[in-house]
Amino acid sequence: MQAIILMAGKGTRMAKYYEGPKQLLPVAGKPVVEYLLQALPEEITELIFVVGGPHEATIREYFKSGEHNGRPITFVKQEEQLGLAHAFFTAKDLIHGKWFGSVADDIYDPAALKELVQQDLGLYSYRVPNPEQFGVLVVDEDGYVVKAVEKPQEFVSDLIWGGAMVMDESFFEVEITPSARGEYETPDVWMKLINEKGKKIKTVECSYWFPVNDKPQLDAAEAKMKELGLA
């Protein structure tokens, strides 16, 4: 299985604490992206890194060997940062069959990732007290998505997407328009897959998930990694 890992962006939210690509931000002494790469299930055999923005050269230099733990790396450039769905679309010509996709600056539960790649289509999910800041998921009694909304102003659900998913080539076959934020949003793709193509997307709830977007999140992630002995 191929993995599309999003490595583009400016990393502006952590700029006051760290200069450089957020994917290489040290968490308990280790670049945050290394936690993701080491947690990837064995089913993933090839890495596609979507790069772009002011830190592209640094990312390419860090991975200049062209492989990671025996998995070959292919770089593809996102010329403009127009949302996560747009970033994934950048790699569509390299994909065949089912694939894994994720952002590169979150810390994931390896057991949940293992379960995720067993799904035909699936989303890594987590329950949070502040869902309005994330892509929110509403699911049926079997855990399949019935509604997905990006940063809703009113409460919809406390279950959110944690930035990792398993999709197939149909992800690239639907057409969406930019949201009010001017970005191509992944929830819009999922809803088209469900409503227009009859796809079923299963949620996999994890035991932990740490986005690292600010100093409090960084501190929480470091504490958890040390607790788990992963630092």
Q: Is residue 142 part of a domain?
A: yes
pLDDT at 14: 58
pLDDT at 86: 96
Query: What's the structural domain count of the chain?
Result: 1
pLDDT tens sequence across 126-162: 999 999 999 999 999 999 999 999 888 899 999 999 9
Give the integer Cα–Cα distance in Å for 136 and 147: 8
Question: Domain limits at 76?
Answer: 2-226
pLDDT tens sequence across 45-85: 999 999 999 999 999 999 999 999 999 999 999 999 899 99
Average pLDDT over residues 4-17: 75
Neighbours of 201 (CB within 10 A): 23
* Tokens found for residue 74: 């292919």
What CATH number is associated with residue 22? 3.90.550.10
Average pLDDT over residues 9-29: 77
**Would you say residue 11 has pLDDT above 80?**
no
Q: Is residue 231 part of a domain?
A: no
pLDDT tens sequence across 95-135: 999 999 999 999 999 999 999 999 999 999 999 999 999 99
